[in-house]
Amino acid sequence: MGILAGQVALVTGAGRGFGRAIAERFAAEGAQVALLARSIAQLEDVERAISDAGGTALAVQCDLTEPDSIMRAVRQVERGLWPVDLLVSNAGVPGPFGPLWKVPPEEWWRAQEIHIRAPFLLMQAVLPGMVERGQGRVICVSAKAARIVAPHLSAYCTGKIAQNRLVAEAAAELADTPVCTFAIDPGFVPTQLARETMEDAAAQQYLGGMVERLKERVDDPEAQGDLARCAQRCVDLASGKYDELSGGYYELPDDLDEALAEKRAESA
């Protein structure tokens, strides 16, 4: 029996990278896991892997920017598993890259639909049930870009800082309930998103230094370690041990026990 036994987790962007690592770890800890993304083939691969390992998973194709698609997906999860106890909003895109006045506006806004609209819609879909049942936790996979100014990465930086504020706003509004929200930086792994960045002509033009650093880490075996560290961070937050930190944004080097002690000291 894992520490998440009896809970249903919904993980978006679960077909690869951090989303897959989180989903598989949640399943290993006993959660039944709903896997959401646009690519059903990738999700079915993860579903089989979890099933082969003795876990329970359900692959659900979903457009995370469309309210009807999300509501259909959540209803499918509720029918196939049970109401959602844990939500991990992980889907993201790296671009577009370049100066504000040069990037295609429709691509820039599409990025915000994925970074901001998707977690907002997901929260709207699952928070009412969580509040009604008196239990639930939401984790948004943000990034260090939320706290820096990075030229030519305006879409990504804007989307990530907005995610953190969305989490903080939700936590404030949920303060008189047992439901909690968190934002995290997952660390760095040369996932498919990183590879897409390296291959992007605009990224090569405007972010040459970053592209070179990504290339250097593609074959670094230690870089894969952040997959496991991110999954563990999500398990820790999902466990309930750190509920008093609801509304906060945490990076992998952050000591949650220390943050919890500081929070309690401030409240004393």
As given in the structure block, the two tokens for residue 144 are 């260090």
How many Å apart are CA 243 and CA 237, to the nearest integer?
Answer: 7
Of 89, 142, 154, 246, the active-site residue reads 142
Angle of helix 225-238 relative to helix 256-267, nearest 10 degrees, comes to 30
- Catalytic residue at 142? yes
Q: Contact, 39 vs 64, CB < 8 A?
A: no
DSSP state for residue 65 in the 8-state scheme? T
Q: Quick one: CA dihedral 69, 125, 21, 181, positive or negative? A: positive
- Catalytic residue at 160? yes
Q: Which residue has the tokens 């359900």?
A: 58
In terms of Cβ atoms closer than 10 Å to its own Cβ (0-12, 13-18, 19+), residue 99 is: exposed
How many Å apart are CA 217 and CA 205, to the nearest integer?
Answer: 20
As given in the structure block, the two tokens for residue 118 are 């998707």
Q: Which residue has the tokens 């291959």?
A: 199
Q: Contact, 249 vs 146, CB < 8 A?
A: yes
Of 89, 154, 160, 242, the active-site residue reads 160
Provide the annotated active-site residues.
142, 156, 160
